[in-house]
A and B are shown apart, each in its own frame.
Chain A
Amino acid sequence: MEHYNMNLTLKVWRQQNAQVQGSFETYQVKDISSEMSFLEMFDVLNEQLIHEGKEPITFDHDCREGICGACSMHINGKAHGPWSGTTTCQLHMRAFKDGDTIVVEPWRAGAFPVIKDLMVDRTAFDRIIQAGGYISVNTGNAQDANNLPIAKDKADESFAAATCIGCGACVASCKNSSAMLFLSAKVAHLALLPQGEAERKTRVVNMVDQMDKEGFGSCTNTGACEAECPKEISIMNIRRLNSEYIKAGLSGSVAK
């Protein structure tokens, strides 16, 4: 792999807090190595700003290996940037070339208010989980794990849905700011398992109800969420969610 250095122009959203209006600021960074990650390029920029006596850019990040779901930049109009199946922290600078201009924004969604600069408040996702994204089992009274055989294909399908990292890219990339992909991944994860059976109907109804309360939009099946999901969560989960929701409704389950 050939490595190279590049100079870039960055247009970054700056906003002091949720109460004030934000705007784009333009910055130049030099000698960025193609081996750097996108966030390491931001580290360079932030060090530069600190030395100039300015405030560095605030953004969420933690594990930097694509699993915690903290990082959340909208890069050149795409959630997590140009590479498919990739979080911002795993995006590397070889995706760009010398002289490029890169536009970086926070997630844009009414249910995700900006906290500062590129950092947004995603606690709405926690509240959707609180509405029913669990199996009600207290610690300590579980049966032997192998007393509950689960067919491999079902287990695999459930796992695939459960790999959602809760980053919110689905919401950010949806023109309606819908949280259906996030929600459906959790509903599918638990509905596919026998352990999830007892609360299957109430769970889906309550979680959808909470999603609506949080102000997320409706799903119009454009598929942008699936296209930009860094974990490639399948839109088929939304199909499953809809069928779970209809079945629950037909059997008379209503939101509590």
Chain B
Amino acid sequence: MLNSKIPAGELSQKWSSYKNSCKIVNPANKRSLEVIVIGTGLAGASAAASLGELGYKVKAFCFQDSPRRAHSIAAQGGINAAKNYQNDGDSVYRLFYDTIKGGDYRARESNVHRLAEVSANIIDQCVAQGVPFAREYGGMLSNRSFGGTQVQRTFYAAGQTGQQLLIGAYQALERQVALGNVTMYNRHEMLDIVMVDGKARGIIARNMITGKLERHFGHAVLLCSGGYGNVFYLSTNAMGSNVTATWKAHLKGAYFANPCYTQIHPTCIPVSGDHQSKLTLMSESLRNDGRIWVPKKQNDTRKASEIPEEERDYYLERRYPAFGNLVPRDVASRAAKERCDAGYGVGTSKQAVYLDFAAAVIRYGTIECGKVGNHNPTPEEVRTHGLAVVKEKYGNLFDMYAKITGEDPYEVPMRIYPAVHYTMGGLWVDYELMTSVPGLYCLGEANFSDHGANRLGASALMQGLADGYFVIPYTLGNYLADDIRTKAIPTDHPEFVKAEKEVADRINKLMSIKGTQSVESLHKRLGKIMWDKCGMGRTKEGLTEAIAEIQALKKEFWSDVKIPGTVEGMNTELDKANRVADFIELGELMCKDALNRAESCGGHFREESQTEDGEAKRDDENFMYVAAWQYNGDSDWILHKEDLNYEVVHPSQRSYK
């Protein structure tokens, strides 16, 4: 039975009363308690640093060559916080409400409210660390808008917010490394959880340089290993982002929740050919100023500049006048797909829509001219000034677009199309962020907890840092307080020996296949099945086919994969094979989950369940639950349901009109 351990009491008081009553470990005992942290993105680095500051003995692991390279670094647009610095009516409640509604009423109220409560502390903490957020001329912090909200609560550092926040957390982490509180293991990949007497007590990791397997003990293990978007092969995730750590935990008993909830981001650079290895996001912040349109005529082959204003369809503004171009991501993505499927797409592939800054250039240019007393500017003057403003706000994104496409977005509108970006699903956790395995925690994108069926923009950074800086330091103590008498378990314990042998056997098995197909080519095929049948539109028929296809692919993988090189030493193909094998199993579960959830909600769109005007139609009567899957052997899972009880917010058909 799932126990989410939500504290009793009024929603707004739950977190304070939890903090007032949870158990605490005294400083002397913390020194003898060891904590393993897997992954060093925003969640992992902030958790490792904060726990190190508290005095725990922390071991942090990342597969990259430095913790500073975790994929949080690529987040562009910003981080939300209920500061109400703009005096536009924001509050903890509104941030909570927007997040619940944005998630299409499939998130847990108590977790989301806590997230909104600590959001303001995150900004304070980051500024104290020296994160250089954007500022106004008066020296105050600047804000902008993001999708699914009507207030300006997003803090940012140009288009590099994730980078600046991660470097803040990384520096805090390196400080703890220097102080000896954290030991850092770069280029290490976690390949199994070690269970002793029903509790997570350590890991098996592979040193990616030597190829050697290592055993590490911890009183508790924290998984902060990010999302699994790369199951689609093409996504905006980094090449190395993978599901392996959470999948191994799943196989050891941690339930996987809502795996089918994936976020397809509306504004990415379209696919250009079969060679494509990954997709690149163009920040949602661009939708503050960019207008999205397609021609009103089908199969229009004219250039954007040749299509007059009255022949353009600003379809988001037309369909959703209240939110316009700033509707949530799931809504914007589906609307783009709908237009392209109906034959209105642009560019050579016709799988793209325009994101146009011409109106913003004129608007900003006029304001800037006015500031210098030029109230009757020429169009050239307006354009020059306007371009300067757009360049300051979005310069790095425009440059990136130009490098990838070879087109100048200051001259022609950007072409964009939806792409896989984020996964709301993940390991099931209770209010304390503990998985269904005692002593095993999951933070950040790797868990399922806060975003329901659709995440709002600028909320991923918020959640990662909330979990690491402000939640786990309290909730972990509540568990470890009962563990102060547990001595470090020597790693020659039979459970460690057994776990290492299982990992070694699997690696040897992979190496012994010596088949004909490369890991990459098999991964690509998995991605195609997932994108076609478990992507933006899902049907019973398609999902059923996908499950059979994935099972067949799994057989093919385990009988015909070709991995060159040896077990010893650096072998990037072997690393990849380990990950892709896990992605294949996860893909099957995602399709099973999507098939089970016969409703549409947020990013999960079952074509059988839509309103007359094509919006996602929920079925609260039958599906108001978290689907937590328990692994029960090969291709076999048991479904556990955690009912979602809305005490404060009243779920309704989401409307952004």
A163 nearest CB across to chain B (Å): 6
CA distance A149 to B281 in the complex (A): 32
Cβ B403 vs Cβ A90 within 8 A: yes
Q: Which of A60-68, A97-105, A235-243 contacts B (4 or more CB under 8 A)?
A: A60-68
Q: Give A32-69 interface residues, CB cut-off 8 Å to B.
A: 33, 35-37, 39-40, 43-44, 47, 49-51, 53-56, 58, 60-69
When C-beta atoms are compared, the residue in chain A nearest to B178 turns out to be A130
Report if B473 contacts A (CB, 8 A).
yes
Report if B9 contacts A (CB, 8 A).
no
B159 nearest CB across to chain A (Å): 9
CA distance A168 to B85 in the complex (A): 39
When C-beta atoms are compared, the residue in chain A nearest to B565 turns out to be A55
Q: Give B155-179 interface residues, CB cut-off 8 Å to A.
A: 157-158, 160, 162-164, 167, 170-172, 174-175, 177-178
Report if A125 contacts B (CB, 8 A).
yes
Report if B121 contacts A (CB, 8 A).
yes
Report if A217 contacts B (CB, 8 A).
no
Cβ A134 vs Cβ B573 within 8 A: no
CA distance A136 to B278 in the complex (A): 38
How many residues of chain A are within 8 Å of chain B by beta carbon?
80
CA distance A17 to B565 in the complex (A): 13
Chain B positions 114 through 138: 1 when the CB is less than 8 Å from some CB of chain A, otherwise 0: 0000000101111111101111111
Report if A250 contacts B (CB, 8 A).
no
B280 nearest CB across to chain A (Å): 5
Cβ B239 vs Cβ A60 within 8 A: no
How many residues of chain B are within 8 Å of chain A by beta carbon?
83
Report if A155 contacts B (CB, 8 A).
yes
* Pick from A44, A65, A163, A189: contact of B400, CB under 8 Å: A65
When C-beta atoms are compared, the residue in chain B nearest to A1 turns out to be B406
Q: Give B552-595 interface residues, CB cut-off 8 Å to A.
A: 562, 564-565, 569-570, 572-573
Cβ A193 vs Cβ B130 within 8 A: yes
Dominant SS among interface residues on chain A:
loop
Q: Which of A6-14, A137-145, A218-226 contacts B (4 or more CB under 8 A)?
A: A137-145
| Total A-B pairs, Cβ < 8 A | 221
CA distance A17 to B209 in the complex (A): 9
Report if B399 contacts A (CB, 8 A).
yes
Report if B313 contacts A (CB, 8 A).
no
Report if B213 contacts A (CB, 8 A).
no
Report if B64 contacts A (CB, 8 A).
yes
* Pick from B124, B135, B565: contact of A155, CB under 8 Å: B135
**Could you say which residues of chain A place their CB within 8 Å of the CB of B276?**
40
When C-beta atoms are compared, the residue in chain B nearest to A145 turns out to be B127
Given contacts A1-B405, A149-B140, contact A159 B124 (CB under 8 A): no
When C-beta atoms are compared, the residue in chain A nearest to B473 turns out to be A139
* Pick from B130, B177, B565: contact of A189, CB under 8 Å: B130
When C-beta atoms are compared, the residue in chain A nearest to B236 turns out to be A65
A225 nearest CB across to chain B (Å): 19
Q: Which of B69-77, B505-513, B614-622 contacts A (4 or more CB under 8 A)?
A: B69-77
**Could you say which residues of chain A place their CB within 8 Å of the CB of B403?**
66, 83, 86, 90-92
A77 nearest CB across to chain B (Å): 21
* Pick from B127, B399, B573: contact of A195, CB under 8 Å: B127
Report if B49 contacts A (CB, 8 A).
yes
* Pick from B167, B400, B562: contact of A66, CB under 8 Å: B400
A114 nearest CB across to chain B (Å): 11
B628 nearest CB across to chain A (Å): 30
9 A-B pairs whose Cβ atoms sit less than 8 Å apart in the complex: A17-B569, A40-B275, A62-B240, A65-B400, A70-B64, A130-B175, A135-B171, A140-B473, A151-B139
5 smallest beta-carbon distances between A and B, as pairs: A149-B139, A134-B171, A142-B128, A142-B124, A159-B132
